Structure 1
Amino acid sequence: MNLFSNPILNAMMFFVISGVAGLVLGPIIIPRLTKLKFGQAIREEGPQSHLQKTGTPTMGGLIFIVAFLMPISFTLTFDVPQVAYVTMAIFCFGAVGYLDDYLKVVKKHNLGLRAKHKFILQSILSVIFALLSLAWGTDTHIPFVAGVVDLGWLYIPLLFIMFLAIDNAVNLTDGLDGLASSITAIVSVFFMIMGFVQNESIVIYLSAGMLGGLIAYLKFNWYPAKVFMGDTGSLALGGYVGAMAVLLKMPLFIPLFGLIYFIETLSVMIQVGVYKKTKKRVFKMAPIHHHFEMIGWNEVKIVTRFSVLTILMCLLSYFIYI
């Protein structure tokens, strides 16, 4: 899959091709989504400021998904097992999101797939990709522990939980203009760096490709967003993060470099759990990015500060690893 002898040049090639593809695809896909009336329904119980976003085209995740595939197609790398693993994770989890988005659009309601049906589909995929990961062994890096540790049979349930958790976590993070795409772009930079550290060229190229696609997508998704990624995009990104963590043997590092994903999920769990027992709310609204909106932070401020925290946690993860 190397067009150049220098891995940095290859990474740049993947980044540029996917970035240009994303910039070209945006003006093509967004008007078509608008014409098809694939508009987002906004939860009435959500922040009132979000009601003005009703009708904004959704399924915009197709932009960075297709852009990500462009450099792979040009270099004919689908026969590489690692590439196939990551690509299929993006496709399969994204397909669940696409089905959810499609039902929302057809019904003109924001519920989409029933929660139990979505959970079943995600669980099946999590089992499949956990089992497929055995192709690269059962050893993994553990924070603050030198080297890799062979987890044996524990590896499969670990990855099952990891895929299921990260897929839903990225989905919950996608609640503000540019939030999920910004966080995952930063995480992609981290993946790229770790690819260099571990001498995993495929990780470097795939993360560079996703980075280019996400940066291009941010041109259309930054506040005020012209398009939303929808569950098509957020669940695809969850599959991407999980699969890349597998290739780097770093699933246990996700709560560190993906702290925002973790906090978003934890805030919902705390809010629901406490409310069921006490009928009181810990946060003004969950996920936690809505809490900050309710106390007066604007979307750009929240996305910027969450992004800075992600950068810091990626740096911490790097220093813990080395």
Structure 2
Amino acid sequence: MDIYIKQALIHQFSPEDTELRLAEQTITITPKIEEYLRKKVERVYSDEAKTGQFEADNPFLDYFTGDLLSQSVKIATRWKEEFSLSENLKTNDLLFINFEKNGVEHFAFLRISLRENLTHVGNDLANPLKLTQNNLPSAGSAPDEALIVNLNNYKYHLIEKRIKYNGSFLNYFSDNLLQVKPIISAKKSIKTLEQTAQKIADNFQEGDFHFQSKVKSAIYSHLEEDNALSPEKLADQLFDNNLTARLTFVDELKEVIPEKIIFDEIDASRQLKKFENQKLSLSNGIELIVPNSIYEDAESVEFIQNENGTYSILIKNIEDIKSK
């Protein structure tokens, strides 16, 4: 991912008076700061990001006029109006960044909740540890909330958290601030696929461990081959001998996943790693981790159902065994 940080500035939100401490200029981007900002931006392109594209008449696009400072003040002020309703307010840094990704101009708004940390102060021998305020989290951690907008086509990636207001939880960021209906994250979509497949299989008395393994294997192979997941394609593979189950699976997913899950600029490696192995927990306490390629090879692993209803697992052609 080729990201070049061009400009950045930081406003701060204080819960004490629910006011903004507005910056008056952009920050000097040193190599260390550039690395921090770049890693924060990279974390937004994850399987936890919701995605979508702003319509041409979306009012939020009006904020993208003027320079970064004027844009950020308008957005931060509007953001504060919505966020201040939350019943659990903390001090937050609001980072606004102009950057290029693969040569295309992008805008980022990151909300980062600040922490209290103990710091070792060497010149006070009696009290070497001091509690310091307003500490930024590590570069490798994801922002608490984030919006990245491709300024060429207005596609966006969004990480948001609900706020609690009057006993209810609100998606204030997407519903009120952006006024959009994003596509749910790839991570949540895949979880929904798994749960729906299991539900359908249980209804047709097919939901044993073989089916669960089949789901994992199908998701892994489709991700590896297509970098996408199609409910129709999965249905054909999971319920190949049951037309009713196939149609029911696709129909139940229509509202939540109306189209195939595409990893558009999103790193699929975490999901691939999650599904690359079959993890089996046996009733006798034994746990097995078997790579998909071996699990599906009858010359390597064989599952035998005994006459008394129990299972035996035969692992074949082992050349070497090591204790770990």
Same fold (TM over 0.5): no
Give the TM bin, normalised by the shorter chain: under 0.3
The structure having more radius of gyration, on CA atoms, is: 2
Question: What is the TM-score when the length of structure 2 is the normalising length?
Answer: 0.24
TM superposition score normalised by structure 1: 0.24
